[in-house]
Amino acid sequence: MFNLKKIIGLLSCSLIFMSCASIKTSDITYLGSKTTTTSQIQEIEAPTLHIFAPKGDKTVLKPVVIFVHGGNWNEGKKELYNLIGRNFAKKDIVAVIPGYTLSPNATYDDMTTQIAAAITWVQEHVKEYGGDVNQIYVSGHSAGGHLAALAVVNPKYGISQNDISGIILNDAAGLDMYSYLQNNPPKSSNNYDTTWTSDPANWKDASPIYFINEETPPFLIYTGTKTYASIEKYNAIFIEELKKYQPEVAPIFLDKKHIPMVTQLFFPWSKRYDEITDFIKKQEVSAN
């Protein structure tokens, strides 16, 4: 689904050079050295995370964005998104990019539990990298948007919504898996039978739309006008439900397909970084 290796390979060395105003700390373990998922008995290597911190004074704490990569819940890896981490750091934002165990070695519940653990790790340690624990934002593209949102809004994962300053969704998938899977029961293709299981109760548990409330952090939502029909449909439904609690929410529609929605972030001059920075500043003003 994602041929990001090829896309990244086409980027010039000059682009990488322009985006490296950061200090990268690689492969930090936010779980134990091993992890066990519900979809398999044996232990597997635990995922890790990368941190991209702006160079300079660490005593002036910076906002933090935790970016969760996509890949249909069964593909992708954090290393493909290093440019995004560098670009956030160039904007004076500490970026954290966690890896997570993919299907068929993990269910949505395993993945979300891991993302929640990454958020908790950031809350406990990001100050060491110049990050402000009072300005933590979660973000993600596609499946990553789903996992980021679910980890915050579903209370079973133990993240207080009041501790997250905002949620930034980039063409997020899976916001209402309950409705989607009722019409498209999970099969072995794309490992959906493992990711979602055959239990409708799990499908609802996996759907962020059923957990948003008056305490849900503010959302910044991007949707591609040329994206997959299911993403377009369920993003619209999600936004209508969100407006009950955040009537001012206004999605940003972009004339792009699904993959270009994230590859645009590989370029430091993308307007998305200015929009995200403005969103962060707005929340900071509101908090004060």
Distances 215 to 46, 161, 170, 199, 228 between C-alpha atoms, Å = 32, 6, 21, 28, 30
| Averaged pLDDT of the chain | 91
Closest CA to 136 of 96, 89, 92, 80: 96
Q: What average pLDDT does this structure show over 243-258?
A: 97
Alpha helices in 206-270 (DSSP H): 229-242, 258-263
**Cα 44 from chain centroid (whole Å):** 23
What's residue 13's pLDDT? 44
Residue 240, number of CB atoms within 10 A of its CB:
11
* Strand ranges for the chain from DSSP E: 22-29, 34-35, 44-45, 48-54, 62-68, 94-98, 131-141, 166-170, 219-224, 252-254
Instruction: Compute the distance between CA of residue 220 and CA of residue 189 in angstroms, rounded to an integer.
Output: 31
What's residue 14's pLDDT? 43
At residue 1, does pLDDT exceed 80? no
What's residue 19's pLDDT? 47
CB 241 within 8 A of CB 209: yes
Distances 64 to 11, 88, 123, 134, 135 between C-alpha atoms, Å = 26, 9, 10, 9, 6
Token pair of 279 as six digits? 């969103």
What's residue 26's pLDDT? 85
Tens-place pLDDT, residues 45-72:
889 999 999 998 888 999 999 999 999 9
At residue 74, does pLDDT exceed 80? yes
What's residue 6's pLDDT? 54
**What are the structural domain ranges in the chain?**
4-29+47-287
CB 84 within 8 A of CB 102: no
Instruction: Compute the distance between CA of residue 174 and CA of residue 141 in angstroms, rounded to an integer.
Output: 11
Tens-place pLDDT, residues 78-126:
999 999 999 999 999 999 999 999 999 999 999 999 999 999 999 999 9
CB 141 within 8 A of CB 170: yes
Structure-model confidence comparison of residues 232 and 3, the more confident one? 232
At residue 8, does pLDDT exceed 50? no
4-29+47-287 placed in CATH 3.40.50.1820: yes
pLDDT band at 284 (very low <50, low <70, confident <90, very high): confident
Q: Can you tell me which residue has the tokens 């006008």?
A: 225
The pTM assigned to this predicted structure is: 0.92
What's residue 80's pLDDT? 97
Tens-place pLDDT, residues 116-175:
999 999 999 999 999 999 999 999 999 999 999 999 999 999 999 999 999 999 999 999
3-state secondary structure of 221: strand
